């Protein structure tokens, strides 16, 4: 008997066979690692990111299991269109990974309007928009998982990260609110408090965006021990290990919910 697609995945015992997952910030860093891990486990993966060329190249690498939709998560109309396309193609969504994030370290009084806007739009408004559009599709699947990527900056607040900390704290509040509102519909929201993750495509985290960083920020963060606390003795966790955490979260049996998970280097 010839088995193809979902049937073949089920026969091979893949953990996400038949599942549809949407991942924001999917072309680099943790998002890229999550996309690869989910495809390996049999999921159909929708990659949401702004770079059309990178999306096309990644879809070619991942094969027919991957669909790329160029999306700015901070644009509500664009998010609405992207999830409409997901609904048209798959009729449901099982997993939403809100991984996209931007940080622009800067002394608070020197923050430019655009630096405030890009962090708020990407880190907080983006997940609000994606969750809002995903919930009907998660409901159509009979329930599913939302994983929102927060940061340990909400626990250990660093200097020069005021707006980033505010947006991630708001994201954590969003996760708690969604859990309360939708748990009876089997829609689970997990906040992943993620530490530094290193690997393919991580590139700049925004620390070198402002020239003030090298002369003022970095020396202070080193002197106060912030860098050592964040990196840990192992020098950061890998994006592949972060992807494994995501896989663990979304494969929990029904009846179990992980409200908050912290994954960090030590």
Contact 182, 145 (CB under 8 A): no
* Number of domains the chain is built from: 1
Residue with tokens 């960090």: 264
Per the listing, tokens 């997993």 go with: 95
3-state DSSP: the chain helix, strand, coil percent, rounded to 5? 50, 15, 35
Nearest alpha carbon to residue 83 among 69, 94, 97: 69
Residue 5 has a pLDDT of 43
At residue 9, the 3 state secondary structure works out as helix
Give the pLDDT confidence score for residue 10 in this predicted structure.
47
Residue 227 counted as domain residue: no
Tokens matching residue 70: 């160029």
Specify whether the CB–CB gap between 97 and 39 falls below 8 A: no
Residue 265 lies in a domain: no
Residues designated catalytic: 164
Host domain of residue 125: 14-207+237-253
CA atoms within 13 A on the CB side of 99: 29
Here the tokens at position 140 are: 């159509």
Q: Which of 3, 5, 31 is nearest to 19 (CA)?
A: 5
In a domain, 105, yes or no: yes
- Position 149 in a domain: yes
CATH number at residue 241: 3.40.50.720
Tokens, residue 222: 């080193």
Whether residue 229 lies inside any domain: the answer is no
Indicate whether 150 belongs to any domain: yes
DSSP 224: T
**Structural domain contains residue 3:** no
Separation CA 174–CA 135 (nearest Å): 13
pLDDT in tens, the chain (266 residues): 333 444 444 446 799 999 999 999 999 999 999 999 999 999 999 999 999 999 999 999 999 999 999 999 999 999 999 999 999 999 999 999 999 999 888 889 989 999 999 999 999 999 999 999 999 999 999 999 999 999 999 998 888 889 999 999 999 999 999 999 999 999 999 999 998 887 655 544 445 556 666 667 778 877 887 777 777 676 678 999 999 999 999 999 999 999 999 998 87
Length of the chain: 266
pLDDT for 4: 40
- Contact between 93 and 86 (Cβ < 8 Å): yes
């Amino acid at each position: 008997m010839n088995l193809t697609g979902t049937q073949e995945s089920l026969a091979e015992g893949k953990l996400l066979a038949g599942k549809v997952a949407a991942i924001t910030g999917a072309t680099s860093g943790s998002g890229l690692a999550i996309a690869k891990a989910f495809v390996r486990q049999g999921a159909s993966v929708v990659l949401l990111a702004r770079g059309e060329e990178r999306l096309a190249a990644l879809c070619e690498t991942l094969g027919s299991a991957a669909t790329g939709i160029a999306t700015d998560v901070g644009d509500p109309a664009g998010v609405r269109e992207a999830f409409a396309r997901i609904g048209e193609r798959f009729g449901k969504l099982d997993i939403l990974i809100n991984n996209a994030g931007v940080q622009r370290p800067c002394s608070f009084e020197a923050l430019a309007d655009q630096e405030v806007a890009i962090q708020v739009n990407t880190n907080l408004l983006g997940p609000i928009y994606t969750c809002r559009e995903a919930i009907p599709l998660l409901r159509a699947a009979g329930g599913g998982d939302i994983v929102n990527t927060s940061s340990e900056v909400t626990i250990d607040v660093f200097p020069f990260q005021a707006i980033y900390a505010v947006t991630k704290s708001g994201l954590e509040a969003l996760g708690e609110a969604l859990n309360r509102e939708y748990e009876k519909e089997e829609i689970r929201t997990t906040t992943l408090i993620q530490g530094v993750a290193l690997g393919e495509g991580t590139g700049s985290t925004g620390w070198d965006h402002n020239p003030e960083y090298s002369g003022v920020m970095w020396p202070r963060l080193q002197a106060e021990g912030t860098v050592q606390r964040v990196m840990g003795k192992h020098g950061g966790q890998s994006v592949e290990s972060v992807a494994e955490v995501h896989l663990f979260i979304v494969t929990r049996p029904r009846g179990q919910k992980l409200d908050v998970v912290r994954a960090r280097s030590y």
